[in-house]
Amino acid sequence: SQQGEEDPQALSIQEGENATMNCSYKTSINNLQWYRQNSGRGLVHLILIRSNEREKHSGRLRVTLDTSKKSSSLLITASRAADTASYFCATESKDSSYKLIFGSGTRLLVRP
Amino acid sequence: GAGVSQSPRYKVAKRGQDVALRCDPISGHVSLFWYQQALGQGPEFLTYFQNEAQLDKSGLPSDRFFAERPEGSVSTLKIQRTQQEDSAVYLCASSLARQSDTQYFGPGTRLTVL
């Protein structure tokens, strides 16, 4: 069974707009990671945020983590058509510091 | 540099056949993981190796699933007597450290059982 719930399940925006995806999880974690998956391809690691961090940036990506609410958000600014993909959050729990537990993903469509 | 590679990329099997899926991790990576991804879902953990030792196989769905990494590098996931519910994408990932590290994923093997 999967740990996380992602919201929304699907998101359609115009190129240039910002996209925000949310992830909730259930257990105490060491870190939370965001991955992107293009149709029919493997997962690409985007960003890792540790449990003692609240916000992290990487290029057009901004990730926040609220451990009190067991939630995280991924913001993609100035979206591009190439950002069209599925986005997954994955948590590494304190109980097992290796395996990742994935959410069900948000399918993002960026319209040109 | 070379990433994680998997072969075959696509596999069609008749129900009851045995299949073997191969994973070549990034050179020097200690940890290796197998995940199963059903259509429209996120990946689910199957098993974990640290070098040649299989430290966690709690996610393997049944005793028809078997994984090995005999020399601490290449890994093979074997599924015996395949069933239709085994149809999924099987993803392999590796990481440099023993724990709490970024996992790098391969392109996956899409298994279809007819």
pLDDT (tens digit per residue) in B51-87: 999 999 999 999 999 999 999 999 999 999 999 999 9
Q: Which CATH architecture has domain A5-111?
A: Sandwich (2.60)
C-beta atoms of A48 and B102 within 8 A: yes
Enumerate the domain spans of chain A: 5-111
* Res B97 pLDDT > 90: no
Please name the residue of chain B whose CA is at the shortest distance from the CA of residue A40: B107
Q: Which of A34-38, A44-48, A98-102, B109-113 has the lowest mean pLDDT?
A: A98-102
Neighboring chain B residues of A88 at a CB cutoff of 8 Å: 42-43
pLDDT at B93 over 70: yes
In this predicted structure, what is the pLDDT of residue B104? 92
Whether the predicted pLDDT of A61 surpasses 60: yes
pLDDT band at residue A4 under the 50/70/90 scheme: low
Which is nearest to B81 in space by CA: B100, B104, B62, B68?
Answer: B62
Q: Do B102 and A45 touch (CB under 8 A)?
A: yes
Domains of chain B, earliest start first = 5-97 (2.60.40.10)
CB atoms within 10 A of CB A11: 16
Report the mean per-residue pLDDT for chain B.
94
> How many Cβ atoms sit within 10 Å of the Cβ of residue B102?
13
Q: What is the distance in angstroms between the Cα of B76 and the nearest Cα belonging to chain A? A: 18
Q: What is the pLDDT of residue A1?
A: 47
Q: What is the mean pLDDT of residues A26-44?
A: 89
Kindly determine whether residue A42 and residue B105, on different chains, have CB atoms separated by under 8 Å.
yes
Strand A10-14 with A106-111, pairing: parallel
Assign B84 to helix, strand or coil: helix
pLDDT over threshold 70, residue A70: yes
Copy the structure tokens of residue B54.
């299989």
Half-sphere exposure of residue A86: CA atoms within 13 angstroms, side-chain side: 20
